[in-house]
Amino acid sequence: MSLGLATNAAMGGLRITTLGTRLVAENLANADVEGYGVRNLVPTSLLVNGRDLPVQRAVNPVLLGAARSADSMRLHAEIRQTAIAELERAYGVPGDPGSLNSLVAALDSSLHQAVSTPDSDAALQAVAQNASHLVTRFNTLEKTAQSIRQNADDAVAADVAKLNTALDQVVALNIEIQRQSLLGGNPHGLMDERQRVTSDISAIIPITEIPRDNGRIMLLSADGQVLADQTRAEFGFTPTIGITAGDSVANGALSPVSLNGRALAPASPVLASGGLGGHLAVRDEIAPRAQAQLDTLARDLLNRFSGPSADQSLAPGEFGLFALDGTTTLPSMPDGLAGQLRLNAQIDPQAGTGLWRLRAGLNAPSPGPILDATGLARLSAALSGATTLQPGTPSRSFTEHIATQVSALATARLDADSTLTFANAKHATLHEDLAAQGVDTDREMQNLLTLERAYSANARVLSAIDEMMRNLLEI
C-alpha cells in the first residue's frame, strides 16, 4: 500500500470514528426521548442518490404499528370503562347510605311504619322526606348522564382539532424531510418529530403508515382513505353546548364527525378504536342507554303512585305522590323524565304541611280519621307491587327493578374492566418490546470503547506515516 492510500484510509477511519462517537453521544442523550430512532453507522458503500449515507435511523415499522394499534385500543377501552364506572357510582353501591337502592328501601320502610302508626306526624314526615330524597337522587342521576355526554362532546371537539393540527404537521414534515433527503441533508431529527406526531394521531383514530419515496410517509385511515401525504384530509365537527336528554345525531341536535365533508357512521372502522370513537360511543351510545333506562324507572315510579289504584282521591292518570315539573300529564316521549321528577307540591316535607294528605289522599277535602291507614297501605302496595317496564319483561317490584338495573350496570362495568385489562396488557407488552429496540446504553458504551480503539489505531497509522515522511525528507 502506498503512503497516500494509507493516509486516506487512516483519515477515513478517523472520520468514521469521530462520527460514530457523535452518534453514541446523541443516542445516549436521547435514550428516554419518545419517538427517537437509534442512529447507527452503516457501510459507506451504501449509496443513496449517489451520496454516502453513513448514518441510519433504526425503527421497526411492524412493531411500531402494532404498538400504535395497542395505544388506540387501550384509550378506546379506557374511555368507555370510565363512563360506565361513573354511571355505576352515581347509582351508588347497594346498601350504602344515599345509594338508589337504599333510598327506595328507606321509602318502603317508612311507608310500612306509617301504616302501623298512621296518626304519627313523625312517620308521615319520614315518608315525605324519603320520597323527596328519592326524587333528588333521580334528578342527580339525570344530570350525571347529561354531564357525561357533554364532556364527551367537548372531548370529541378537542380530538378533531388535534387531528387536523397533527395532520398539518405531518404534511409539513413530509415536505421538509423530502427536501432534506434530496439535498443530502440529515432529516433524522424531523423523522423523530414526525413519528411522535403520528403516534399522537394513532391514539385518536386507528391509522396505517405507508413509506413513500425520499423519506415521506402516507397515512391511511382504517377504511383506506388517505389522511396525509403531500396534502391532508379534513375532519369536521360542530360542538354542542347544553346537551339535553333528547338530543341525538338522528334528530339533528348533535353533530357527527365528518371526514372530507362526509359524516362518519357509528360503525365506521375509523371509529372502531381510539379516543375519538370512544368519546362518540359515550355520547351517543353508553350515556343515552343509561338515560333511557333511568327514564323508564322514573316512568314506572310515576305510574305506580298515579290514579285511583294508589290514591282513591285521584282521577285516572292524575299524578300522585310523585309528579313532573311543568306538566300534569305523562309525555309520550319521556326523554329526561328522571330530571323532571318532583315530589307532589301538596306535600312539603320541609315545612311539614300537607302531610295528612299522605293518609287521607292528595285531593281529600279534610284530614279524615287519623287512625285510618287504608290510604297509606295503598301507597305501600303501589311501591312493592309487581309491574313490567317493557312488554315481554318480567314483573317486579320497584326495588327489584332498581336492583336489576344496578346489576346490569355492574355487569357492563365488569365487561369494560376486562376489556381494559386486556388492552393494558397488550399495550404494556408491545411498548416493552418497542423500548427494547430503542437505545441500549450498555451496547452504546461498548461501541464507544470499540470506537476509541479504532481511533487510536488510525492515529497510530498516521503517526507512523508522518515519521516515514520525515525520514524521507531527511535523506
The pLDDT value given to residue 93: 85
Res 57 pLDDT > 80? no
The pLDDT value given to residue 17: 72
- The answer to whether position 136 is within a domain reads yes
144-196 tens-digit pLDDT: 999 999 999 999 999 999 999 999 999 999 999 999 888 877 888 898 889 99
Pair 389, 459 in one domain? no
Pair 347, 302 in one domain? yes
- The answer to whether position 417 is within a domain reads yes
- The answer to whether position 142 is within a domain reads yes
Number of domains in the chain: 2
- The answer to whether position 286 is within a domain reads yes
Could you tell me the residue range of the domain that residue 451 belongs to? 1-29+441-475
Pair 411, 372 in one domain? yes
- The answer to whether position 395 is within a domain reads yes
267-281 tens-digit pLDDT: 999 999 999 999 999
Q: How far, rounded to the nearest angstrom, does the alpha carbon of residue 272 sit from its chain's CA centroid?
A: 12
Pairing of strands 258-259, 235-236: antiparallel
Pair 354, 322 in one domain? yes
Q: Which residues pair with 41 in a beta bridge?
A: 55
Q: With cut-offs at 50, 70 and 90, classify the pLDDT of residue 74.
A: very high
Res 435 pLDDT > 90? no
Residue range 59-78: mean pLDDT, rounded: 92
Whole-number CA gyration radius for the chain = 36
117 Cβ contact list (under 8 Å, min separation 6): 123
The letter for the amino acid at 206 is P
Is pLDDT larger for residue 177 or for residue 445? 177
- The answer to whether position 219 is within a domain reads no
**CB-based contacts of 387-395 (< 8 A; 24+ apart in sequence):** 387/300, 387/303, 387/304, 389/296, 389/297, 389/300, 390/296
Pair 141, 275 in one domain? yes
For the entire predicted model, the pTM comes to: 0.84
Q: With cut-offs at 50, 70 and 90, classify the pLDDT of residue 98.
A: confident
Pair 86, 150 in one domain? yes
- The answer to whether position 49 is within a domain reads no
Residue range 367-372: mean pLDDT, rounded: 87
Q: How far, in Å, are 108, 286, 331, 457 from residue 94 at the CA level?
A: 15, 22, 31, 78
196-234 tens-digit pLDDT: 999 999 999 999 999 998 889 999 999 999 999 989 999
Res 48 pLDDT > 50? no
Pair 417, 331 in one domain? yes
Pair 403, 313 in one domain? yes
Three-class DSSP labels, the chain: CCHHHHHHHHHHHHHHHHHHHHHHHHHHHCCCCCCCCEEEECCCCCEECCEECCEEEECCHHHHHHHHHHHHHHHHHHHHHHHHHHHHHHHCCCCCCCCHHHHHHHHHHHHHHHHHCCCCHHHHHHHHHHHHHHHHHHHHHHHHHHHHHHHHHHHHHHHHHHHHHHHHHHHHHHHHHHHHHHCCCCCHHHHHHHHHHHHHHHHHCCEEEEECHHHCEEEEECCCCEEECCCECCEECCCCCCCCCCCCCCCCCCCCCEECCEECCCCCHHHCCHHHHHHHHHHHHHHHHHHHHHHHHHHHHHHHCCCCCCCCCCCCCCCCCEEECCECCCCCCCCCHHHHEEECCCCECCCCECCHHHHHCCCCCCCCCCCCCHHHHHHHHHHHCCECCCCCCCCECHHHHHHHHHHHHHHHHHHHHHHHHHHHHHHHHHHHHHHHCCCCHHHHHHHHHHHHHHHHHHHHHHHHHHHHHHHHHHC
Pair 373, 472 in one domain? no
Q: With cut-offs at 50, 70 and 90, classify the pLDDT of residue 451.
A: low
Pair 282, 398 in one domain? yes
Q: Which residues pair with 52 in a beta bridge?
A: 47
Overall size of the chain counted in residues: 475
pLDDT averaged over every residue in the chain: 86
- The answer to whether position 229 is within a domain reads no
Is pLDDT larger for residue 369 or for residue 433? 369
318-347 tens-digit pLDDT: 999 999 987 777 776 678 899 999 999 888
Among 357, 340, 122, residue whose Cα is nearest residue 245: 340
The pLDDT value given to residue 25: 66
Pair 259, 128 in one domain? yes
Pair 252, 133 in one domain? yes
